Amino acid sequence: MRSLHRSPLGTRPDTRLLRDVGLVCLAGGIVGVSFGAIAVAGGLPVWVPVVMSLLVYAGSAQFSAVGILLAGGGPVAAAATGLLLNTRTAAFGLAVAEVIGRGRVTRWIGAHLVTDETVAFTLAQPDPARRRAAFWISGLGLYASWNLCVLLGALAGGALGDTGRYGLDAAFPAVLVALVLPALREDAAVRRAALAGAAVALALTPFVPVGVPVLAALTGLLLLGGRTA
């Protein structure tokens, strides 16, 4: 069996899972450095991106909120945009609710760790024990790497210059695409749902605010509605 050690979560973590989590942590960390640097270079104090990352912990929402603040928008508009972008995590939370655990504190912490990536890792596992291990390993790893790298980027401030010219913004979505490709190759129903969602998102992108096309893409899941487990 491919494993490194016995996990405190009750199962042996697969080395492939650990490798994939490490790659996503690396990509997320690069984006985190970019976020911290952009926020501070734009004039925000160091504590703003750091505290936002600890409490909000949602990359797209954080970038959008900081973009609004740097453009002169108020905190209410920034917070509303972040909430809109994060509504998708409600559906994600339902998908992994049974995996997180039953204790009140455990569920509260687990809910904070729900992201696109942790859900993708969790649902890709073949049994409940491995799904639980995948959720907590990826969730804690991504949270730690994201916040550490945001702090490093914020401390670096404007020293990095224009982070977009390094292509840092492309690292995270590229890794996510690599993660979902196996499911797209193996399951025709998932391919149809993904293509439908992508078509909706592309059609809406020129006409609606940033983040809304991502939410609208969830309509592709309707194609899976009649599918039996």
189 vs 62, 97, 193, 194, 224, CA distance in Å? 33, 23, 6, 9, 7
Q: What digits encode the pLDDT tens for the residues 70-105? A: 777 677 777 776 777 677 677 677 778 788 878 888
Give me the domain span that covers residue 21: 15-167
Q: Alpha-carbon torsion 180, 181, 184, 185, what sign?
A: negative
Q: Quick one: tokens of 193? A: 């749902």
With respect to residue 179, please indicate whether it lies within any of the assigned structural domains.
no
Q: How far is residue 113 from each of residues 140, 209, 210, measured CA to CA in Å?
A: 7, 26, 23
Average per-residue pLDDT for the chain: 77
pLDDT tens profile 182-208: 767 777 887 888 888 889 889 988 887
C-alpha–C-alpha distance, residues 152 and 146, integer Å: 10
- Residue 119 gets the label, from left (phi > 0), alpha (psi -120 to 50) or beta, of alpha
In this predicted structure, what is the pLDDT of residue 219?
A: 81
Please, what is the angle between helix 15-41 and helix 128-156, to 10°? 30
Residue 206 lies in a domain: no
Domain annotation covers residue 156: yes
- Range of weakest confidence among 37-46, 175-184, 189-198: 175-184
Classify residue 173: in a domain, yes or no.
no
**Residue 105 within any structural domain of the chain:** yes
The per-residue pLDDT for 207 is 84
Q: What's the pLDDT band for 8 if we cut at 50, 70, 90?
A: very low
Tell me whether residue 9 is in a domain: no
User: Domain total for the chain?
Assistant: 1
Task: With respect to residue 182, please indicate whether it lies within any of the assigned structural domains.
Answer: no
> Does residue 59 form part of some domain?
yes
